[in-house]
């Protein structure tokens, strides 16, 4: 009843909200004034900008109670990112950002909030210094060191809940080659998925961290290519390397017609290497965007470091993904400016006797831009595991795979950008 009421309120708001509809853009409190290299450091501080990316987030995860002892998870929180970034001073600037997520009222207990990933692992509020970096720009080269968000195919902010993932890292980015960006990076520690492990631990980076090379290229008309190679620097890491490459070609026919292809893989110390192959094709017909998707994972388990790039992963997780074959499709309807309604369906069939990634999933994602500083979003997914997967939940078959339970996720997010 509670969920139905919330869904009804959200849907009504999306349909009936008035005012001008425009894309949401962050609105800075103070306009940036260009500062020359002859300016003072005090002027660079004065001409810096404050921004706020705030969210009210309701999350409800329910499980099939017949096949799991997992408790349902619910939380209502408010938080986000409040950030200051200085203006440039002889090419240098710095940024500081406070990250937070605070439980609202006593509607749900901290125990209920543990499994939502919008609070800490024990349902505690989150509050920490999420970004603290120094950046230097010279010509087409940028150096950035400290706590920061990253945006690469395999290591990114994974912004699925109220807070993104952030990293203690050093990166060098260069754009000297026309139509090309090359980025070298070192990642020491990070905050975990959705920053719920906000102590910046080494749980997945290892004690020596990760090094990576990432690139994008758009020098050929209608073609964009990007890729990344990640190397674990810790001797004996179980997952030694991550590799990824994808390409998108805009077909000069129809409206926004394109075809995509992707390849990925991991090398392991003591397991069979993994490979990922995928394809996506789509076009636009009036107010409808349609696409068909395919992904095939072979060998052992494929994993991105943070935020899986698979076309068939509607919720963009980060694995581990067992050997499987997936087909799906999606439809995006844009009946009016500022309103987008997306539905998707994917069928994932486990290979080689695996059981965990053996499911069908339906996903709905609705977005409505209320005005130039706020937006409402409603998401709902139904994930139905196969009978064999549910039956083996908690058990382990000969190849080490376990089953899973059915799961439904419901979210309402209200965004405010200033």
Instruction: Please write the tens of the pLDDT for every residue from 346-366.
Output: 999 999 888 888 999 999 999
pLDDT score recorded for residue 72: 87
The predicted pLDDT at position 146 comes to 97
Confidence of residue 16 (pLDDT cuts 50, 70, 90): very low
**Hey, is 388 helix, strand or coil?**
helix
Instruction: Give 311's pLDDT tier (boundaries 50, 70, 90).
Output: very high
Predicted confidence band at 64 (pLDDT cuts at 50, 70, 90)? confident
* pLDDT for the residue 69: 64
What are the structural domain ranges in the chain?
2-417
pLDDT bracket for residue 8 (50, 70, 90): very low
| Tokens 């997992």 found at | 70
* % residues pLDDT > 90 (the chain): 64
Higher-confidence residue of 238 and 375: namely 375
Bigger pLDDT: 37 vs 377:
377
Arithmetic mean of pLDDT over the chain: 87
Give residue 352's pLDDT: 81
Report yes or no: 385 and 357 within 8 Å, Cβ to Cβ. no
What pLDDT shows up at residue 395? 65
For the stretch 184-204, pLDDT in tens is 999 999 998 888 888 887 777
pLDDT of residue 22: 37
pLDDT at residue 369 greater than cutoff 70: yes
Tens-digit pLDDT profile for residues 219-259: 999 999 999 999 999 877 778 899 999 999 999 988 999 99
Name the burial class of residue 23, with classes exposed (0-12), middle (13-18) and buried (19+) by CB atoms within 10 angstroms of its CB. Answer: exposed
**Dist CA 115 CA 300 (whole Å):** 27
Query: Could you count the other beta carbons within 10 Å of the beta carbon of residue 332?
Result: 17
Is 279 a residue whose pLDDT tops 90? yes
Higher pLDDT, 376 or 193: 376
> Mean pLDDT over residues 335-346, rounded?
96
Percentage of the chain beyond pLDDT 70 is 86
| pLDDT on residue 167 | 95
Residues 6 or more apart from 93 whose CB is under 8 A from it?
44, 48, 85, 86, 87, 134, 135, 137
Among 98-102, 190-194, 316-320, 377-381, name the one with the lowest average pLDDT: 316-320
Q: Are 288 and 296 in contact (CB under 8 A)?
A: no
- What are the residues facing 395 on neighbouring strands? none
Residue 68 has pLDDT above 60, yes or no: no
Radius of gyration of the CA atoms of the chain, in A: 22
* Residue 237 or residue 183, greater confidence: 183
**Cα distance between residue 54 and residue 344, in whole Å:** 27
Q: How far apart are CA 73 and CA 407, in angstroms?
A: 11
Q: By three-state DSSP, how is residue 228 classified?
A: strand
pLDDT at 397: 66
Task: Quote the pLDDT of residue 315.
Answer: 73
Q: Please report the pLDDT score of residue 353 as a whole number.
A: 80
Q: Does 10 score more than 60 pLDDT? A: no
Task: Kindly report the CATH class assigned to 2-417.
Answer: mainly beta
- What are the φ/ψ torsions at residue 12 (nearest 5 degrees)? -65, -40
Average pLDDT over every residue of 387-415 = 82
Spatial separation of the C-alpha atoms in residues 308 and 318, rounded to whole Å: 4
How confident is the model over 382-401, as a mean pLDDT?
78
Q: Which pLDDT score is estimated for 20?
A: 37
Is the Cβ–Cβ distance between 160 and 236 less than 8 Å?
no
Which among 73, 94, 104, 179 is positioned nearest to 145, based on CA atoms? 94
- Taking residue 16's Cβ as centre, other Cβ atoms within 10 Å add up to 7
398 pLDDT band, cuts 50/70/90, is: low
The confidence score (pLDDT) of residue 402 equals 80
Kindly report each contact of residues 11-16 with a partner whose C-beta sits within 8 Å and lies 24 or more positions away, as own/partner: 11/366, 11/378, 13/368, 13/376, 14/339, 14/366, 14/368, 14/376, 14/378
Least confident of 46-55, 253-262, 306-315, 360-369: 306-315
User: In this predicted model, which residue has the larger pLDDT, 397 or 64?
Assistant: 64
Has residue 24 got a pLDDT over 50?
no
Mean pLDDT to the nearest integer, 89-102: 96
The whole-angstrom separation of Cα 150 and Cα 164 is: 10
- The pair phi, psi for residue 322, each rounded to 5°, is -75, 165
- Please tell me the distance from the alpha carbon of residue 301 to that of residue 78, in angstroms, as a whole number: 36
Whole-angstrom Cα distance, residue 25 to residue 293?
A: 30
Residues in contact with 294: Cβ distance below 8 Å, sequence separation at least 6, in sequence order: 278, 279, 280, 311, 312, 326, 327, 328
Question: What pLDDT, on the 0 to 100 scale, is given for residue 7?
Answer: 38
Residues shown for the chain? 418
Question: Tokens 């969210």 correspond to what residue?
Answer: 55
| Whole-number pLDDT of residue 11 | 39
Q: Can you tell me which residue has the tokens 């392991």? A: 268
Is 19's pLDDT higher than 90? no
CB atoms within 10 A of CB 324: 21
d(C-alpha 335, C-alpha 345), whole Å = 21
Question: Which pLDDT score is estimated for 285?
Answer: 94
- Could you give phi then psi for residue 391, rounded to 5 degrees? -65, -30
What does the alpha-carbon distance between residue 244 and residue 355 come to, in Å, rounded to a whole number?
Answer: 25
Give the range among 4-13, 140-149, 301-310 with minimum mean pLDDT.
4-13
Which letter does DSSP use for residue 235 in this model?
T
Tell me if the bond preceding 320 is cis, omega within 30° of 0: yes
């Amino acid at each position: 009843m509670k969920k139905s009421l919330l869904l009804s309120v959200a849907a009504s708001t999306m349909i009936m909200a008035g005012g001008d509809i425009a894309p949401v853009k962050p609105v800075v409190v103070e306009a940036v004034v260009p500062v020359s290299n002859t300016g003072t450091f005090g002027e660079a501080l004065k001409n810096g900008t404050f921004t706020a990316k705030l969210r009210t987030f309701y999350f409800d995860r329910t499980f099939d109670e017949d096949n799991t002892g997992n408790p349902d998870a619910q939380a209502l929180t408010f938080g986000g990112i409040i950030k200051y970034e200085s203006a440039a001073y002889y090419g240098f600037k710095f940024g500081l950002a406070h990250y937070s997520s605070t439980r609202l009222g006593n509607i749900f207990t901290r125990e209920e909030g543990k499994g939502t990933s919008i609070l800490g692992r024990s349902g505690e509020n989150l509050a920490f210094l999420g970004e603290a970096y120094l950046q230097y720009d010279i010509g087409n080269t940028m150096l950035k060191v400290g706590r920061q968000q990253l945006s690469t195919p395999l290591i990114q902010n994974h912004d699925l809940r109220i807070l993104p993932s952030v990293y203690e890292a050093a990166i060098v980015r260069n754009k000297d080659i026309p139509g090309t960006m090359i980025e070298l990076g070192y990642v020491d520690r990070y905050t975990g998925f959705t920053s719920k492990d906000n102590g910046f631990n080494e749980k997945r980076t290892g004690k020596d961290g990760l090094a990576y090379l990432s690139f994008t290229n758009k020098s050929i008309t209608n073609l964009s290519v990007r890729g990344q190679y990640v190397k674990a620097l810790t001797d004996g890491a179980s997952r030694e390397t991550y590799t990824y490459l994808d390409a998108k070609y805009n077909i000069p026919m129809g409206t926004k017609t394109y075809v995509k292809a992707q390849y990925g893989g991991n090398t392991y110390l003591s397991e069979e290497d993994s490979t990922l192959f995928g394809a996506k094709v789509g076009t636009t017909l009036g107010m409808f965007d349609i696409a068909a998707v395919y992904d095939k994972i072979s060998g052992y388990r494929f994993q991105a470091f943070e935020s899986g790039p698979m076309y068939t992963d509607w919720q963009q997780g980060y694995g581990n993904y067992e050997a499987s074959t997936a087909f799906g499709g999606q439809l995006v309807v844009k009946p009016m400016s500022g309103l987008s309604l997306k539905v998707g369906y994917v069928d994932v069939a486990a290979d080689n006797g695996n059981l965990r990634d053996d499911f069908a999933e339906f996903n709905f994602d609705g977005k409505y831009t209320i005005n130039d500083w706020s937006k409402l979003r409603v998401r709902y997914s139904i994930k139905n595991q196969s009978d064999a997967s549910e039956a083996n939940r908690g058990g382990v078959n000969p190849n080490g795979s376990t089953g899973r339970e059915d799961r439904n996720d419901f979210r309402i997010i209200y965004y405010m950008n200033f």
